[in-house]
């Protein structure tokens, strides 16, 4: 292709000359592609396809319109032509009028005397016009057809007015609906959550209580907030869908009003503010009322227990956090719109902040109680308890006026108390112990106080850094006019507050705060400042991160001036009303208040210092008329109350440091003459010196000189201790001496050595000289000690060489003996092998090693021969293997062919799988117990044996059948009947059993199963829904006989418990061998270990609890919190658990449960007696009628064996039904119409009762 072709078709604006053959090929390919895309053929094809698609779409729309017309005509009983004509007539008569009405819509005004509000009238007008517009829309199959017929409806102005009407009506309707729901929920038309509920008080059976005097209903005097706190937590209450919907609805209403305000005014539609006030105020009312209620309870507490304190701390923490969150959301809703389209009236109580601050005060009080009343274990976690509450403190500081000041003041006061408490504890404990235990006691004190003091000191330093946000300067000898002029020239402005000026105090701010009046208020009124983050809903959130110190231009600070003389301000003035605040500012001072601590304060001070720098026209620095001010306080809290608490912390810290330093002398005197105390004293000196030097860095000048004298005294004492009390030959003394001398040097540096009194200096010089002598004694001067050591080493090597020469002759003789026949070569070979090493030390090592190996092998051989363990699989002498040997020899140890199936579940001691018996083809449950999982629990082997012994005795349709075991070296398999329906507990997870007939079916089977067990002398002792299984026919099966007891004829019992060997009983505690079962189903006699009662009475009580749970869906004693409370309640029981309500069970059924739950075990009926209860007789009569009807209409070919189901009537009927199912399955299929098999009905695998629920 030529260059002209490239230039004509190239995609770039400039021609590219190919440099290589590869580039030319690429450009040719690009040119070819461009020519194809720009060709006429492609363009014409695109046009043809577009026309075809458009015609297809028109045809599709026409088809849809015809279908719509046909359906409409069919519904109205007309032909399509008649329907089309009628539609055209209605369109001409209706549509244009509605369009015109919407375009000119304006809501009517309220008539006098109508009693209606503007919103109600406007809502009726809007709904009317929208209803007519819906009728107009129904005349068209779709909007596209409408837009083609009436083009004005597709224009933006019409669409905007329609959307506005729909939005306004939807929002107002939703707001009123939500308000009505809240009124119904609270029972108050005014949404007053504190007024008593109007509903009558209900009795235990759910019926209203009536006054015995006049028969009037007794009103429930509890308020809505009390009911909320009783029934649910306040946090979960606000997480409910109703309140979250309210929050989103308020945001939607605000957005609609702000964005559609011009059209609202044009249509005379009222705004939403008045209607929204109840919704916005309700959450804050509710949380404030809950705080008040909790405060009333807290104020009544006097020396409460730690558990109550912890609970109240958690409750107040949640309530305070929720109150702060709602306050921030309220402020986000309250924020005005720049266009003036959102003016929300006050929706929050005036004392809301006061309530939050009052709750915060009690919150601190509870924390103080917790720290004061908790056990010693919390000593090391005091600061952790405080630091865990920072999120709450930040929340209050960010959301509540005065919150930051209260947090700072209370935190500092609490920290000061902790400092004082540590000091008092330390000083008290030092003088508490006798001489015999001094060393251990002082060691514990040192470890305890060291950790506590460091954590407290670190926390106090954090508080000081966080709350020290100001610096103070003096105006003495400073020309005030020049200083004011410098402020004006640097764009500072005066904040006129109408309150501070009366006291001669003035506030000046830099230009960065000119448009931020709220920031000025916070800087002056709040003790510290929390970083803010904006949430998605516009509310503020606390940010724990430090402020950005790199943003130098955004540094904000205030200058508080207190000049003695008046001055003239020629700069800008900002009128900003603020409450009067006592800043405790002395005359002729300037206090700089920064918008943060640490780096923010440093940056603010640097920026303030720049106003005193003057420059000429060339940008060169010149001498300013007013020099920099003298700083008299580098950092402090600007609020006096907080600053006082910070100074208290400083004093407490200084006192603690002084106490540590002084304590060394007391401890040294107390330990004089006590052996083994040198290391303790050295640690004490080391700790006191480190803590003292660290504390000295943060001391002010007034305390520095005094404390420095204490440290010098400590240095002299330390050096004296090394010289006088320590062993000079001990290497530890050398290390301790170095530490003491370094500390002494550090304390006497600079002019400190000159300020020492003469007697102290002389003493220090003497002790240091003695200490240096001790150090020199440890030095290897000129290598003398090294030379002596070298000579000694050479002598030892010479001795070893001589021994090696003598050993060669022995090697030769040993080798010759090893080669001669009839000799034991093992020892000889070992000797030769060891002699093969030329280094004598290596040879001696290998001789010892080989000798030890021979001894070990000999002991192993002797042990094997004594115990004769070769070939033995199990050692019967070991207790943990005795039961296993018994299992292997048991008659129930069977050998069957079986196959493991899917995993069913896991228990405490093994896993359960579905198994297939390959010999019979039946399913079974296979429990696999691995012995390695039971290591360390030898008693469990005998427990497995005992449980299997019980199961071998039992053969009943309502007891799980035990097939046998298969014992292996490392595990055992237990084969049992497989119950497809799962447990009764799993069934009850879905709720109570609604049909009483089904409950009777299950109850009769439990009675028959228990009657059989008791007749065999077996008491189950752990009847509960988890231990009751259901097979695929819904037949009840008792399982898990690990807690069962066998009662012999002579009334002696053998315990088969899953517990360890019984221990001696303690006072008030039942024996371990009797306390077996699940507490909420246990009978009172089991809890109290009462031996009285009829045989099996405890099982009857447990069965009554199971029937109770079936009918109510709740476990017995579900009103109690934990198992200990349940056991206590049962142990002192004078009444049974709460019975079912009359609507849940019949009177006969409730009476049956009541009989089972008879407190006295002597009077409690047996299982056989309960089968004759009227409730059971009623069921038996229904069962008999059912059996007669079934036998008359559809009897089975073969009946189940009578002896097998003699005492299992329900299981017998289930077996009959199963027999009929099997007969139906195996019978020949009819030729004409097939009969559905029962397989389709039971395919789901869900257990169902064997009999209909009608009886």
Please name the residue ranges forming H helices in 335-468.
352-373, 382-387, 390-399, 403-430, 438-467
CA distance readout (Å), 842 to 810, 853, 1202: 17, 17, 88
CB 415 within 8 A of CB 459: yes
Residue 285 assigned to a binding site = no
With H, G, I as helix, E, B as strand and everything else as coil, classify residue 531. strand
**DSSP of 308-349, one letter per residue?**
HHHHHHHHHHHHHHHHHHHHHHHHHHHPPPTTS---PPP-S-
1218 close to 961: Cβ distance less than 8 angstroms: no
Let me know if 1022 is a catalytic residue.
Answer: yes
For 958, other C-beta atoms within 10 Å of its C-beta total 24
Give the list of residues 6+ apart from residue 1111 with CB closer than 8 angstroms, or none. Answer: 992, 993, 996, 999, 1140, 1144, 1145, 1149, 1153
**CA 553 → CA 529, 1124, 1231, distances in Å?**
18, 64, 97
Which contiguous run of DSSP H or E holds residue 1223?
Answer: helix 1209-1226
How far apart (Å, rounded) are the C-alpha atoms in residues 382 and 371? 7
Instruction: Answer for the pair 1224, 1238: CB distance below 8 angstroms, yes or no.
Output: yes
Q: Which residues contact 103 (CB under 8 A, 6 or more apart)?
A: 157, 158, 161
Rounded Cα distance between 707 and 654, Å, is 9
605, 559 contact by CB (below 8 A): no
First to last CA, the chain: 99
Return d(Cα 1155, Cα 1165) in angstroms, integer. Answer: 7
Percentages (nearest 5) of helix, strand, coil residues in the chain: 60, 10, 35
Catalytic residue, chosen from 1022, 1031, 1040, 1099, is 1022
Q: Where are the alpha helices (DSSP H) in 545-587?
A: none
- The tokens for 16 are 């590219």
507 CB-side CA count, 13 A: 28
Question: Distances from the Cα of 308 to the Cαs of 369, 373, 435, 899, in angstroms?
Answer: 11, 12, 41, 57
Give 158: exposed, middle or buried? Use CB within 10 Å, 0-12, 13-18, 19+.
Answer: middle
User: How distant, in Å, are the alpha carbons of 180, 249, 345, 625, 1172 from that of 118?
Assistant: 19, 21, 18, 67, 73
> CA-to-CA distance for 1084 and 1093, rounded, in angstroms?
11
> Could you tell me which of 240, 131, 271, 129 has the C-alpha nearest to residue 178?
240
Place of tokens 């559609």: 260
**CB 313, CB 381: distance < 8 Å:** no
CA separation for the pair 1212, 1198 (Å, rounded): 13
Residue length of the chain: 1255
Residue 200 DSSP symbol: B
d(CA 851, CA 831): 10
Bridge partners of 473, per DSSP, are 590, 631
All residues at 6 or more sequence positions from 1019 whose CB lies less than 8 Å from its CB, including other chains: 1013, 1044, 1045, 1047, 1095, 1096, 1098, 1099
How many other CB atoms are there within 10 angstroms of residue 1115's CB atom?
20
Q: Which residue numbers are catalytic? A: 1022
Residues annotated as binding site for ATP?
927
């Amino acid at each position: 292709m030529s260059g002209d072709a490239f230039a004509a078709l190239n995609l770039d604006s400039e021609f590219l000359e190919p440099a290589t053959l590869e580039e030319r090929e690429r450009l040719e390919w690009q040119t070819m592609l461009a020519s194809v895309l720009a060709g006429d053929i492609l363009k014409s094809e695109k046009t043809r396809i577009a026309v075809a698609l458009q015609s297809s779409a028109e045809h599709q729309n026409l088809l849809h319109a015809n279908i719509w017309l046909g359906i409409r005509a069919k519904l109205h009983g007309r032909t399509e032509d008649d329907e089309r004509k009628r539609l055209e007539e209605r369109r001409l008569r209706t549509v244009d009028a509605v369009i015109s009405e919407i375009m000119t819509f304006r809501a009517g005004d309220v008539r006098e005397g109508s009693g209606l509000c503007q919103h109600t009238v406007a809502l009726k007008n809007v709904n009317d016009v929208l209803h007519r517009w819906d009728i107009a829309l129904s005349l068209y199959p779709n909007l596209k057809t409408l837009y083609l017929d009436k083009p004005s409806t597709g224009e933006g102005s019409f669409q905007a007015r329609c959307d506005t009407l729909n939005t306004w009506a939807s929002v107002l309707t939703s707001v009123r609906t939500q308000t009505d729901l809240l009124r119904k929920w609270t029972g108050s038309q005014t949404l007053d959550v504190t007024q008593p509920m109007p509903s009558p008080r209900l009795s235990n059976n759910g019926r209203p209580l009536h006054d015995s005097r006049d028969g009037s209903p007794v009103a429930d005097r509890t308020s809505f907030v009390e009911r909320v706190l009783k029934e649910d937590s306040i946090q979960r209450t606000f997480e409910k869908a109703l309140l979250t919907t309210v929050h989103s609805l308020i945001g939607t209403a605000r957005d609609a009003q702000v964005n559609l305000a011009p059209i609202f005014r044009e249509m005379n539609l009222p705004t939403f503010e008045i209607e929204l006030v109840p919704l916005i105020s309700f959450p804050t009312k509710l949380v404030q009322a809950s705080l008040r209620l909790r405060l009333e309870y807290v104020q009544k507490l006097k020396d409460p227990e730690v558990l109550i304190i912890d609970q109240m701390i958690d409750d107040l923490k949640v309530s305070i956090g929720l109150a702060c969150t709602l306050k921030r959301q309220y402020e986000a809703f309250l924020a005005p719109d720049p266009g003036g389209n959102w003016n929300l009236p006050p929706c929050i109580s005036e004392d809301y902040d006061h309530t939050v601050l009052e709750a915060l005060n009690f919150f601190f009080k509870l924390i103080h109680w917790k720290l004061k009343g908790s056990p010693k274990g919390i000593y090391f976690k005091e600061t952790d308890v405080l630091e865990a509450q920072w999120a709450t403190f930040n929340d209050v500081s960010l959301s509540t006026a005065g919150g930051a000041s209260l947090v700072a003041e209370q935190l500092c006061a609490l920290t000061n108390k902790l400092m004082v408490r540590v000091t008092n504890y330390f000083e008290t404990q030092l003088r508490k112990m006798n001489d015999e235990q001094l060393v251990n006691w002082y060691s514990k004190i040192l470890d305890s106080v060291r950790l506590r003091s460091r954590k407290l000191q670190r926390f106090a330093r954090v508080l000081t850094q966080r709350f020290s946000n100001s610096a103070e300067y003096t105006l003495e000898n400073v020309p005030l006019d020049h200083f004011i002029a410098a402020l004006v020239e640097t764009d500072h402005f005066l904040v006129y507050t109408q309150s501070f000026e009366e006291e001669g105090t003035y506030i000046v701010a830099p230009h960065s705060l000119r448009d931020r009046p709220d920031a000025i208020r916070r800087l002056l009124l709040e003790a510290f400042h929390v970083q803010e983050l904006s949430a998605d809903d516009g509310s503020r959130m606390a940010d724990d991160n430090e402020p950005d110190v790199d943003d130098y231009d955004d540094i904000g600070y205030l200058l508080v001036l207190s000049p003695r003389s008046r001055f003239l301000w020629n700069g800008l003035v900002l009128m900003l009303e603020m409450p009067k605040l006592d800043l405790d500012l002395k005359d002729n001072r300037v206090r700089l208040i920064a918008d943060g601590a640490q780096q923010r304060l440093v940056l603010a001070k640097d920026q303030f210092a720049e106003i005193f720098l003057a420059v000429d026209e060339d940008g060169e620095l010149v001498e300013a008329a007013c020099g920099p001010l003298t700083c008299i306080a580098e950092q402090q809290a600007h609020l006096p109350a907080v600053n006082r608490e910070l100074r208290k912390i400083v004093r407490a810290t200084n006192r603690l440091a002084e106490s540590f330093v002084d304590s060394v002398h007391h401890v040294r005197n107390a330990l004089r003459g006590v052996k083994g105390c040198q290391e303790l004293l050295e640690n004490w000196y080391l700790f006191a010196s480190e803590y003292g030097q660290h504390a000295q860095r943060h001391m002010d000048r007034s305390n520095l000189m005094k404390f420095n004298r204490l440290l010098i005294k400590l240095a002299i004492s330390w050096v004296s201790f090394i010289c006088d009390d320590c062993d000079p030959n001990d290497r530890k003394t050398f290390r301790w001496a170095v530490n003491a001398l370094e500390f002494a040097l550090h304390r006497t540096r600079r002019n400190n050595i000159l300020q020492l009194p003469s007697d102290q200096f002389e003493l220090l010089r003497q002790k240091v000289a003695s200490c240096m002598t001790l150090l020199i004694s440890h030095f290897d001067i000129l290598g003398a000690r090294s030379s002596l050591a070298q000579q000694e080493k050479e002598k030892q090597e010479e001795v070893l060489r001589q021994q090696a020469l003598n050993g060669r002759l022995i090697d030769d003789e040993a080798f010759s003996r090893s080669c001669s026949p009839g000799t034991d070569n093992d020892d000889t070979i070992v000797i030769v092998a060891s002699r093969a090493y030329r280094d004598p030390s290596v040879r001696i090592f290998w001789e010892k090693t080989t000798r030890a190996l021979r001894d070990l092998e000999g002991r192993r051989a002797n042990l094997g021969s004594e115990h004769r363990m070769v070939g033995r699989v199990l050692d019967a002498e070991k207790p943990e293997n005795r039961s296993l040997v018994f299992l292997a020899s048991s008659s129930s140890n069977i050998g069957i062919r079986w196959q493991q199936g899917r995993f069913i579940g896991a228990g405490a001691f093994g896993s359960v799988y579905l198994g297939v018996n390959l010999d019979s083809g039946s399913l079974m449950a296979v429990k696999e117990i691995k012995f390695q999982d039971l290591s360390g629990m030898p008693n469990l082997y005998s427990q497995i044996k005992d449980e299997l012994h019980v199961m071998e005795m039992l053969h009943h349709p309502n007891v799980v059948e035990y097939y046998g075991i298969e014992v292996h070296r490392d595990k055992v398999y237990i084969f049992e009947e497989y119950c497809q329906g799962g447990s009764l507990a799993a069934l009850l997870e879905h709720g109570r059993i609604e049909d009483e007939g089904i409950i009777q079916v299950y109850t009769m089977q439990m009675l028959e199963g228990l009657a059989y067990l008791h007749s065999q002398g077996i008491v189950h002792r752990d009847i509960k829904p988890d231990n009751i299984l259901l097979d695929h026919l819904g037949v009840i099966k008792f399982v898990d006989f690990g807690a069962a007891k066998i009662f012999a004829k002579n009334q002696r019992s053998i315990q088969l418990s899953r517990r360890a060997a019984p221990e001696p009983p303690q006072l008030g505690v039942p024996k371990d061998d009797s306390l077996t079962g699940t507490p909420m189903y246990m009978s009172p006699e089991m809890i109290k270990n009462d031996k009285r009662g009829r045989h099996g009475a405890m099982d009857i009580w447990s069965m009554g609890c199971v029937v109770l749970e079936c009918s109510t869906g709740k476990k017995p004693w579900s009103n109690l919190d934990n198992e200990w409370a349940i056991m206590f309640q049962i142990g002192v029981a004078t009444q049974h658990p709460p019975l079912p309500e009359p609507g849940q069970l019949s009177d006969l059924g409730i009476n049956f449960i009541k009989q089972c739950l008879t407190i006295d075990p002597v009077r409690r009926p047996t299982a056989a007696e309960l089968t004759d209860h009227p409730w059971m007789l009623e069921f038996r009569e229904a069962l008999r009628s059912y059996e007669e009807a079934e036998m008359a209409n559809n009897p089975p070919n073969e009946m189940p064996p009578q002896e097998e189901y003699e005492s299992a009537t329900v299981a017998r009927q289930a077996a009959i039904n199963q027999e009929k199912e099997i007969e139906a399955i195996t019978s020949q299929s009819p030729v004409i119409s097939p009969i559905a098999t029962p397989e389709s009905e039971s395919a789901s695998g869900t257990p169902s009762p064997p009999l209909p629920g009608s009886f």
